[in-house]
Structure 1
Amino acid sequence: MNKRKSVFLVFLLWSAVAFALDPQTNEAKTAKLYQSFFEGEIAELAKLNLFLTQMPKGGDLHHHYSGSIYLETYLEWIEKKRWGIDVQTLKIIPKVIEQSTASVLTIPDLMKNGTLYRKLVTLWSNKDYSNHAHEQLPPDSNFFNTFGYFKEVSPLNHNLGLKILKERAVKENLSYIETMLSNVGVQSSDYFTDLEINTYVKALRKCDNQGQVNQILEDLESVLVAQKKFTQTIDDFNENIIKNHQGIDDAEFMMRYQTYAVRVLDPLQVFSGLLSAYLACGKNPYLVGVNIVAPENNYVALKDYTLHMRMYNYLKAKYPKVNRALHAGELTVGMVRPKNLQFHIKEALEIAGAQRIGHGVDIAYEYDSLVTLKKIKEQAVVEINLTSNEFILGVEGESHPYVLYESYGVPLVISTDDSGVSRNNLTNEYLLLASRYQPSYKKLKEYVFNSVKYSFLSDSDKQELADRVRVKFSHFEKEMAQFSRELN
């Protein structure tokens, strides 16, 4: 038996033992306590919140670094740089501002201006959106626009930012984060003339099948990998990740990273981003997967969706050991034309070979969705992001595909997406899950251990993380058994 199968079987065996409830065990008493929160006319949310705050939560697998840092932290970093804020746009002025003027404020002066500060908060995050919706853009635009406000400051302090995220996670009883840290930084315009870019873009968009796409991508790859600047950019990116990771892993916590391409750019830039991401993963033990990000309902993202999946297909064939997570199906009825709801998850699985699907909200609208559900169940896992799905798409409660995925037996993980923008945490995601759908305690533990099982960690790291979470559950269930006695 090879090592991979051995580790996996040990994990399954332990999981089966852990979920076998003897009524006298702390686990059974904890499960009974959890169930009691739903027995009255209304759910006891305060008790449930306390319970879930203390509960070990394994890993957060759908996590964006820049969207998980709170705006207050970004403002502290801006103040240290002595940068300013434009009074009209509330965007960063990335240069030293000695003193405030009529058009630019220092951070201390911004903080003194309650009206402007509160307006900045509504633009840099989702806070108080419902109270100001009449003054703001639609929710999806408001959400995605936040990244444009702090884009100058978010790349500056990765080591400090990672430590902040780690400290927050540990206090929340979280043992692992797999965060989308940044893209590699390759610019296709550095390697191709405008005429070449236009020629390649037109050629790629004319392709009717995978073979035609592959021929062009092979040509592009041969040009890019021959460039010293291209390979040096990848090496510098990896060096920075290794440097910024120092001090993150310890006996209580692990962190790993995904990199990504941006789907709203031209096809040549998207491929350059994906290729550099794949090559970076092959050289860095902390870089564990490749994603594709940005609004899926964007005009370019919709136009080039199948082309992007074919790019993944090409790279999967050449670099099969690189893990693949994709934002797919982050759409709903009315957001796009019906034809754009019919195939995104299907192609992410069948063409791109996605191992994890981020969001997966439009599954009920997809053509051949029953076949796709079966394939997800057999081949992948869905990352459930309740808060962002509710805010961006207006999908919540019984309309959320969680109920469909769960009833069909699709593997699921619970994640935060962008907890800084949404002013949220993983505990609250579990609170929304529990209060809306009332899964059993056994099911909650399954989701927690899914976040270990379906992480992109190595087998040995998965086993180590599973052991840590098991020990944490032992302590937690002992405390909850005692808490139950004290409540009664």
Structure 2
Amino acid sequence: MPRRAPLSLLLGVLTSSSCFVFNVAAQVPSTSQQSSTRSETQAASWFEAHRDQPAALRAFVQRMPKGGDIHSHLSGAVYAEHYLEWATTDGYCVDPKAVALVEPLACGQDSSYFPASELFNRTSVYDSLINRWSTRNLQFVGKSGHDQFFDAFAGFGAISDSASRRDDMVAEVANRAASQHITYLELMLTVQGSEVRQLGREVGWNKDFQQMHRQLIQRGLTELVKLGSQQLAQLEREVSKTLGCGTPLAQPGCAVTVRYLQQTTRTKSPVEVFAQLAYAFALASSDSRVVGINLVAPEDNPIALRDYTLQMQMLQFFKRQFPNVKVALHSGELTLGLVPTEDLRFHIRQAVEVAQASRIGHGVDILFEERPFELMEQMRQRGVLVEICLTSNQVILNVQGDQHPFREYWKAGVPMTLASDDEGVSRIDLSHEYQLAATRYGLGYKDLKRLARNSLEYSFAPGNSLWKSPEFKAMVGACASDTPGGTSVSAGCSAFLNKSDRARIQWQLESEFARFESLRNWL
């Protein structure tokens, strides 16, 4: 018999740079692979029997293990109520005429301003702020979902852009993730954004990417990267303290592994975008907390449209300089009528072929692309995942149901997962997206389980996969004889998991599936 180690010894701290302690859920003994399959079948049968009961489905997907949420903007994931709570604590005021926050130093500029602490007694203004900072009551705001969604960020920007509340933001999102049985997050955020853009302006534009990159380094890019890494280390400590990790009062978010994607704002001048990308790639290559990079801001912005191909070429340049840095791109977050039709025909293809993106965020306009089925086949062969954000696509683009390419991606075999995008602004959570996928597209439990597994298989967590292939039919040899959810793990499997962050979080997901499927009653 092979030596086996207690599971508690195997699954401790994820890595020395982990944001939170890796917590093991209670394990459920499983005597064989056959019993595990039987439990899965019973869960799937219960799901089908309650398919026409939305409240029951919601309870089921709430408790269902989901692996990761790998497309989530930190600032947009926070609910407006939390921003208002922090505004009260931090001494902000409110302009009732503009229905806007006023920063503390400007509170005395107008006699009509009142302290944010009074908002709880002025519910009409309180409600108006929440409506402005989200898509709540969208039908009454007199704006398109697109405009209301993107305008919301400016309202709470003074707080979300401040480093002083970033730990609270991460803690809130992590706690909500834990409540939904999500154990891994990749949060998009910007570190040193304004400083890097200023450096780019000082260097100036040059069509020679190599020379411009060299000048950025000579003028201080490396020092900014070091400062950014120090900020992330401080954020990690502050989040751990805010959540009480390692203490008897530890909050649920301590059990969630958090990693980051460094954002680049695509609506800036070419030299500023180039400088941001140079910084993002350097930071991701040197700090394990940053597992990849992404472009953000509306894809239909005139600057983003004008410079799209140029930005893909920049990404191609940096990908060659930093081949190990992972790239996820917002691409194809467009639809007919939003932009000229020529802008619908090439964005996803360039993101895949030029920028070498490993993941595509949204990908809504895929069927408007030139040779879309050929492109989807290429994505399938390359293993380019699509991050599907159903509510976001409905609100921003008014694309839902059969207008959404969900079914086409599924039939083409393109890897997919569900993501929240901006839980706070959209007033939803990832569980809601799982319920939507099931009800709109007839997905069963095993289909949802695949989407959850994909979130970790295609995550940017480092290390080898637990699985022999993305079909999830068999685990790697080292763990082939082990049963997730058991009370022990073999020495060989333990050694394998200790070498791979990705495999460890995948093992945790499989253990949670075993526990979940053993419930027999999912309400």
TM-score range, shorter chain: 0.7 to 0.9
Give CA deviations for 1:264-322 in whole Å, capped at 9, x if unaligned.
11100000001000001111011000000000000000000000000000000010010
The TM-score with structure 1 as length reference comes to: 0.86
Map 1:340-419 to 2 at 5 A: 340-379=343-382, 380-419=384-423
Residues 32 and 192 of structure 1, relative CA distance in 2, 3 Å threshold: closer
Q: 2:234 aligns with which of 243, 252, 256?
A: 243
Q: 1:183 to 1:362 in 2, by over 3 A?
A: farther
The answer as to whether partners of 1:183 and 1:261 remain within 8 angstroms in 2 is: no
Q: Does 1:76 align with 2:85?
A: yes
Gaps of 5+ in 2: 1-29, 247-253, 464-499
- The range that moved more, 105-114 or 309-318, is 105-114
Letter in 1 for 2:513: F
Could you say if the C-alpha distance between residues 314 and 476 of structure 1 is closer, same or farther in structure 2, counting changes exceeding 3 Å? same
C-alpha spacing 1:32/1:257, structure 2 compared with 1 (3 Å): same
CA distance in 1, matches of 2:85, 2:109: 17
AA in 2 matched with 1:399: Q
Q: CA deviation at 1:233?
A: 2.0
Q: CA RMSD of the aligned region, Å?
A: 2.3
Counterpart mapping for 1:75-154 below 5 A: 75-96=84-105, 102-130=111-139, 132-133=140-141, 136-154=142-160
In 2, Cα distance between equivalents of 1:428 and 1:173: 13
Task: Give the Cα separation in 2 of the matches to 1:254 and 1:66.
Answer: 18
C-alpha displacement at 1:477, in angstroms? Answer: 0.7
The change in CA–CA distance for 1:361 and 1:109 in structure 2 (over 3 A counts) is same
The answer on 1:336 being equivalent to 2:344 is no
- Cα 1:355–1:23 change in 2 (3 A) is closer
- Cα deviation 1:453-481 (Å, max 9, x = unaligned): 000001111111011111111111111x2
Structure 1 gaps, min length 5? 1-16, 205-215
Determine if contact 1:99/1:106 at 8 Å carries over to the other structure: no
1:258 corresponding residue in structure 2: 261
Aligned pair in 2 of structure 1 residues 112, 22: CA closer, same or farther (>3 Å)?
same
| Residue number in structure 2 paired with 1:472 | 512
TM-score (norm. length: structure 2): 0.80
**Partners of 2:200 and 2:274 within 8 A in 1:** no
| Aligned-residue identity in percent | 32
- Asked whether the equivalents of residues 200 and 271 of structure 2 are also in contact (C-alpha less than 8 Å), the reply is no
Contact 2:107/2:113 (<8 A) preserved: no
1:68 touches 1:420 (CA, 8 Å); kept in 2? yes
Cα distance in structure 1, aligned partners of 2:37 and 2:345: 49
Determine the structure 2 residue equivalent to 1:65.
74
Give me the whole-angstrom Cα distance separating, in 2, the residues matched to 1:308 and 1:273.
11
Give SS of 1:56's match: coil
State which of 167, 175, 179 in structure 1 corresponds to 2:183: 175
Q: Deviations over 1:355-402 (max 9, x none)?
A: 000000000111121221111112210000000000000000111111
Aligned match of 1:447: 451
| 2:172 match | 164
2:57 aligned residue (42, 48, 51) = 48
Task: Using the TM superposition, give the Cα deviation of residue 425 of structure 1 relative to its aligned residue in structure 2, in angstroms.
Answer: 0.4
SS of equivalent residue, structure 2 residue 380: helix
Alignment correspondent of 1:224? 216
Counterpart in 1 of 2:485?
none
